[in-house]
A and B are shown apart, each in its own frame.
Chain A
């Protein structure tokens, strides 16, 4: 029973963060420069036909990693945690819920996260995008039965709006990553992005009841349900990302780090 409660609390505490990571590290899984070269295709001007043969064209994902031994330990710990605890839970969820149902649940939770996106659009001065987010939220909430469906995807002006989050706002403000850090459970992160995750947590309505009744939770047991459900529904996608970044890697730790840093650089640019 006791351990049950512990697991519960653990999941609860991290749940929404885990979820917010999911949108942040969306696919898969370089310092900005390498990612920029690769992603925008604007390499240094010197790359000409002769230099195209050069092997130095790609910089490796550089981020300061002063506590690499600790991070590697945490990476190993997380791997065990995913394999022996979270993966079975995730598989169980996938077996119980047919895919269309899971998709609807995912859509609804992403829809509810609207304040995270809206506030961060505004903080970055992207007012047009803030408007698009609002339009998308209204259309999906009203026309998509509380966000279960995404009719906004059919409207070109509202489809595929890049999701903003707090860490991207910091990046836009010129704040660098700081040291790379592998967090327990969440995995790849940086000091800046960890603070960003806390911001996303506070802005996600899924956590509001839990935060509001923080000192008085015994009377409001239900407040832990939304964050827990949020974690559960995000597990399959999260583990998929992890697998993508590590499965065929030569060094899974470095692969995950590089993928994380490249992806965050790209997200911040959008």
Chain B
């Protein structure tokens, strides 16, 4: 292959590769959202919703990446055991928080907009959601981790991860990994 034809091939192929990536991530997100809604519809009682959503969410959401980012720079000073513990607690907290946002009988209507790729192996899928008669702008941030997985949700400009980062980073500065873990423990065990 001559250099010239190689360059031409590159020029043609890379935008295609990017748009294939975008389409793939968006398709993945759509199926994730539909699976979650199907489970939510099947689950009659609100009390058990968190339990029944957990497997679906763990399939599509990268709680490992989320926890790492939510903790921030201090993460590197966690021991593997502490990292695992923090991830478990954060996962439980997020799943519970997410499940509590469902109102039985209310169905969100999601419109998917054109996904963008702000960096390699990262895709942001902006959506517009109508829930209980109100409009919300929701951006799903997805990353390639052996398959596309959700790593952040930004609702009306409020990033879930940035929000927890501000809290957990403060805990870390106060008392290191132990403070982070005990603060997560406290939130998880707080009665609903």
A residues at B contact (CB < 8 Å): 26-30, 34-35, 38-39, 41-43, 47-49, 51-52, 55-61, 103, 160, 244, 247-251, 254-255, 257-259, 262-267, 269
State the Cβ distance, B190 to closest chain A Cβ, in Å.
Answer: 8
Taken together as a complex, chains A and B put the C-alpha atoms of A266 and B139 apart, in Å, by 12
Most buried by B among A42, A160, A248: A248
A43 partner residues in chain B, CB cutoff 8 A: 118-119
Taken together as a complex, chains A and B put the C-alpha atoms of A48 and B122 apart, in Å, by 9
State the Cβ distance, B56 to closest chain A Cβ, in Å.
Answer: 19
Select one of A35, A103, A247 contacting B159, CB under 8 A: A35
| In the complex, chain B residues 2-38 whose Cβ is within 8 Å of any chain A Cβ | none
B163 partner residues in chain A, CB cutoff 8 A: 61, 255, 258-259, 262
B residues at A contact (CB < 8 Å): 68-69, 71-73, 75-76, 93-94, 96-97, 100-101, 116, 118-122, 124, 128, 133-137, 139, 141, 143, 152, 154-159, 161-171, 183-184, 186-187
Q: Closest A-chain residue to B129, C-beta based?
A: A27
Are A255 and B119 neighbours in the complex by a CB distance under 8 Å?
Answer: no
- Given A27-B158, A249-B167, A262-B159, A160-B128 contact (CB < 8 Å): yes
Taken together as a complex, chains A and B put the C-alpha atoms of A264 and B158 apart, in Å, by 9
Are B157 and A35 neighbours in the complex by a CB distance under 8 Å?
Answer: yes
Taken together as a complex, chains A and B put the C-alpha atoms of A197 and B151 apart, in Å, by 35
B133 partner residues in chain A, CB cutoff 8 A: 103
A249 partner residues in chain B, CB cutoff 8 A: 167, 187
Are B158 and A28 neighbours in the complex by a CB distance under 8 Å?
Answer: yes
